[in-house]
Structure 1
Amino acid sequence: IKSASIHYHFPTKGDLGAALAKRYTEDGRVYLASLVEGSNEPGVWIKGYTDIFRMALVDDNRMCLCGIMAAEYDDLPDEVRVEVDGFTDVNVRWLSDVLAVSRPELEKDEQLNQALAIYAAVEGAQLISRGRGDIAVYDNTIETYRRAGLLP
């Protein structure tokens, strides 16, 4: 791919970053929907959720694209921020829906709060594991979250 062809489709870095984040979000949305379609067990859904973050680490020690972008949020163009926020919203809404099934006794606001905590915890586990260069850090952290009751 030539630089000129990229600039033709994406005149600015912000346009390119927003398109990448939007595509990443859509791919994530499809994956999350497939988890629910494939099982009626919230525990299976959450396992699939944490597995996708794990697979990124196994795949050349990569990170969640929108998680990395969020780390540099203040420096992002507005159009990229919108897409990064959208990724977070997709994850938190999906996790909240999982909690509505697995913990129906919780009020909607508490489901949303716990969903955000789960999302932040999984992103954080991925970041620390990558920094350590050790997938066992991720696995042990996720298992600790399960035992502590953070994950359904």
Structure 2
Amino acid sequence: MRDRIMEAARLTVQDLGYSGLSFRELAKTVGIKSASIHYYFPTKGALVEAIVRRYIDRYERYLDEVLNDATDRTTVMRRYTDVFRDTLLNGNRMCLAGMLAAERNDLPAEVRTEVVRWGEMNERWIARVLAPGEGDAPEEIRRRAKAIFAAVSGAQMIAHGRDEVAHYTDVIAAYRESGLIP
């Protein structure tokens, strides 16, 4: 039941954001009483923190697999950007942490911490792609990784706002052509 609650909550937050998540509506979706959700998650903040933490951990494992399996940097980055596109293709959803980042001021501290961790994890991973074998990437690489993460996140947000995945695809193609994204 805990996993069902978390999955339904994740999909809701990806659609409607933190403010759109209601324990009452979530309980209806899952088929339980609202009070039962409180058994697993005493507060909305605790629930969203748990779903973001799980989201990050799963995504980080996936990215590590991509890095270990792919043969070249271009393929690795293509698989990275495809994940953001695939999220849009799933009901025009946004990345969970990206959606929450837009509501930063309304989030409890524990959720804000996880949203920051999401961005830092992505930037570290991209830096590893750009500078393989570098323990701590040089400042220039870290800055470029930040720019790539911002570019991909921004492209997703624009496509989401226009309800048109083609905008994402076009923007990412332009970034590749410019050399920002390998």
Q: TM-score range by the shorter chain?
A: over 0.9
Show the 5 A alignment for 1:4-15. 4-15=35-46
Aligned to 1:120: 150
The CA deviation at 1:110 is 0.9
Q: After the TM superposition, list the runs of 4 or more consecutive aligned residues in structure 1 that deviate by more than 4 angstroms.
A: none
Q: Indicate yes or no: 2:174 matched with 1:144.
A: yes
Select which of 62, 77, 96 maps to 2:93: 62
Aligned to 2:8: none
Q: CA RMSD in A?
A: 1.5
For residues 39-89 of structure 1, what are the alpha-carbon distances to aligned partners after superposition, in whole Å with 9 as ceiling and x for unaligned? 131111100000000000111111000001011111110000111111111
Instruction: Give the partner amino acid of 1:22.
Output: R
Q: 1 CA distance for matches of 2:117 and 2:39? A: 25
For residues 12-37 of structure 1, what are the alpha-carbon distances to aligned partners after superposition, in whole Å with 9 as ceiling and x for unaligned? 11101100110110111011011112
Q: Which runs of 5+ in 1 are unaligned?
A: none
Q: Which runs of 5+ in 2 are unaligned?
A: 1-31
| TM-score for both structures, normalised by structure 2 | 0.78
The CA deviation at 1:2 is 2.8
* Count of residue correspondences: 149
Instruction: Give the partner amino acid of 1:28.
Output: Y
Instruction: Give the partner amino acid of 1:119.
Output: F
Comparing both chains, which one has the higher relative contact order based on Cα–Cα distances under 8 Å and sequence gaps of 6 or more? Answer: 1
